[in-house]
A and B are shown apart, each in its own frame.
Chain A
Amino acid sequence: TQLLEQSPQFLSIQEGENLTVYCNSSSVFSSLQWYRQEPGEGPVLLVTVVTGGEVKKLKRLTFQFGDARKDSSLHITAAQPGDTGLYLCAGEGSNDYKLSFGAGTTVTVRA
């Protein structure tokens, strides 16, 4: 399975600040998914991006898929303590639907 580089590994910010998480690969994916995981729970799907150059907005979250479908970013505006969690990007292969996960970004939003 392909490798996804996710950065930064840790992010600690004050409530109200903005943050961006990056997900990069040398491989092309048919789609890329972003998940959020709480401790002791399974990942919860936030969004799927499919088309190169695509931008999706989910309230204060903005997701971008690179033109070449190799990289993506997640931007959170005016972060809240409820945004705290582990954010994972995952690329899906075109033939076997397997997901390759990034290492994850632990986001902590301080009140």
Chain B
Amino acid sequence: GAVVSQHPSRVICKSGTSVKIECRSLDFQATTMFWYRQFPKQSLMLMATSNEGSKATYEQGVEKDKFLINHASLTLSTLTVTSAHPEDSSFYICSARVNEQFFGPGTRLTVL
């Protein structure tokens, strides 16, 4: 149990385009999901907390207009990277919490 999926697993896009990443809890409902970013050889950095039915809360230094989060249902949260630039290239990981946090497999974003 407690399986979290992400789609797509890998995406390459041109600078200036927007990219949407989906995070789904497959066998449980999650009122709270989290989005992280991980750069090479580094640990996970929390970007925002996604709450079902309400606005996401962002960590300091994370631009809410650039990283749009929508938690449309108890099993789905989406992260949209708007007007992506090469510096947004990273490994994006979501998690869903039911007693503990369970992580998705991650999405590798490369912006050319």
Binding site for B on A (CB under 8 A): 1, 31, 33, 35, 40-45, 48, 88, 90, 92, 96-104
| B105 engages A41 (CB within 8 Å) | yes
Kindly provide the distance from the CB of A6 to the nearest chain B CB, expressed in whole angstroms.
8
Q: Which of B4, B6, B49, B103 counts the most chain A CB atoms within 10 A? A: B103
| A99 engages B101 (CB within 8 Å) | yes
Q: For A31, list chain B residues within 8 Å (CB).
A: 100
User: Provided the pairs A33-B101, A41-B106, A43-B103 are in contact, do residues A97 and B43 lie with their beta carbons within 8 angstroms?
Assistant: no
Instruction: Give the docked Cα–Cα distance between A103 and B104 (Å).
Output: 19
Q: For B93, list chain A residues within 8 Å (CB).
A: 42-43
Q: For A96, list chain B residues within 8 Å (CB).
A: 49
Q: List 19 A-B contacts (CB under 8 A).
A: A1-B46, A31-B100, A40-B91, A42-B6, A42-B103, A44-B103, A45-B101, A45-B102, A45-B103, A48-B100, A90-B101, A92-B101, A96-B49, A97-B32, A98-B34, A98-B46, A100-B46, A101-B44, A104-B42
CB-contacts of B81-98 with A (<8 A): 91, 93, 95, 97
| B43 engages A104 (CB within 8 Å) | yes
**B64 at the A interface (CB under 8 A):** no
Q: Chain B contact residues: over half helix, strand or loop, or mixed?
A: strand
Instruction: Select one of A33, A88, A99, A104 contacting B46, CB under 8 A.
Output: A99
Q: For B34, list chain A residues within 8 Å (CB).
A: 98-99
Instruction: Select one of A42, A98, A101 contacting B49, CB under 8 A.
Output: A98
Kindly provide the distance from the CB of B26 to the nearest chain A CB, expressed in whole angstroms.
14
Residue of chain A at shortest CB distance from B57: A96
Instruction: Give the docked Cα–Cα distance between A98 and B93 (Å).
Output: 14
Instruction: Give the docked Cα–Cα distance between A57 and B94 (Å).
Output: 28
Instruction: Give the docked Cα–Cα distance between A96 and B101 (Å).
Output: 12
Kindly provide the distance from the CB of A108 to the nearest chain B CB, expressed in whole angstroms.
14
| A40 engages B43 (CB within 8 Å) | no
* A-B contacts besides A43-B103, A99-B101, 12 pairs, CB < 8 Å: A40-B91, A40-B106, A44-B103, A45-B102, A88-B44, A96-B49, A97-B32, A100-B46, A101-B45, A102-B43, A104-B42, A104-B43
